[in-house]
Copies of this chain bind each other. A is one copy, B any other.
Amino acid sequence: MKADEGGLDARKAYILATVVYEYVATAEPVASNTLTQKYSLGVSSATVRNEMAELEAGGYLVQPHTSAGRVPSDSGYRTYVDHLMQPEDLGEEERRRIGDELRDASRELDDIIDSTTRLLGRLSKNLAFVTRPQQDTQTFKHIQLIWLTPRTGVAVVVSSLGVAAQSLFELTADLLPDELTRLSNALNARFADRPLRDVTESAIAALVGELGVSEELRGVVQTALQSARSGEQPAVAAAGAQNLVDQPEFQDLRKLRSILRIVEEQKSLYDIVAGAMATPATSVRIGRELGSEEMADLSVVTVPYRFGAHAVGMLSILGPRRMPYARLIALASGTAQSLSERLSEHQVS
């Protein structure tokens, strides 16, 4: 009874692993006969049946009905993922292709995230979604208040990740271009290269007071920075929903509809990612572990991506519980790695 077999003896562990493997491949409940024929177990199907019955008693397998083969349960998958599966690695070739494809994407942050999401959806043949970078670990670089007319203008905020926010503003009293320039310069002088979260409302208010510029500008700058910090719930890009239609578990249209609803609602997507926020590394959540009856037969693999030293976002793959975990984990990690590299090139230095 070795630790890395999840508390099962070697033969049970091997049988559980093959059941998962086979079920992932075929989507059919796995029979004892199938195992003895396809895998060299060295025992007869009767013995396998006994072992399977014990695995079922232990909660690792379930039987859809009496005369059917077995299917892994949530905790069967969990044991497989934590202890039994052979970790995969992307080939050199594939790793390179991912890198190349991301390098070809535009320089704009949003486009890079979009491309990454689509790429991951395509390669994983599941639904991929990626949160846009959370900028609160990033540094403030520059703000520019641009004068358009005496009462309108644009505020542009640049953080270390690039253009972080831009917003039109409209004032109730006329203003000279000079006032905007002075405020921009003062803000830049004081806050350049400091963490974005240091540029607080009170710091802005103080500066506006010192300079004696219009009080209205305080609100303008605060709004722009607020949107640069992009709230607590960053936007999420999704791609690959059509891949799920082909999976036999989504023949049931109710399930499909609830998935589509999730995809179209930023909030639901974000909630899923939020559940993985606690762990700084790869997270796999299986079935009911996702905490919602609606997602009881889904699984999600989530991997953080970095910008510099900090994790700034998450990259996820969502699919049926019956997913090739090792492959998808490798794919998500590899893509996160490439994305992290791509982002550091992109950095405003």
Contacts and interface: CB of A to CB of B under 8 A. Distances in A.
Interface of A: 107-108, 141-142, 144, 146, 148-149, 152, 154, 156, 158, 162-163, 166-168, 239-242, 245-246, 251, 253, 256-257, 260-261, 264, 346, 348-349
B242 A348 contact: no
A332 B55 CA distance: 58
A156 B142 contact: no
Nearest to A152: B348
A166 B167 CA distance: 12
A191 to B, nearest CB: 14
Contacts of A163: 154, 156, 166-168
Contact of A107 (B142, B167, B251): B167
B242 A264 contact: yes
Contact of A253 (B149, B251, B261, B348): B251
Contact of A257 (B144, B162, B245, B251): B245
The residue in A152, A245, A246 that gathers the most chain B C-beta atoms within 10 A of its C-beta is A245
A348 B239 CA distance: 34
Contacts of A257: 242, 245-246
Nearest to A121: B264
A158 B162 contact: no
- Which are the 8 A-B pairs with shortest beta-carbon distances? A242-B260, A245-B257, A163-B166, A242-B261, A144-B146, A156-B156, A242-B257, A162-B168
Nearest to A156: B156
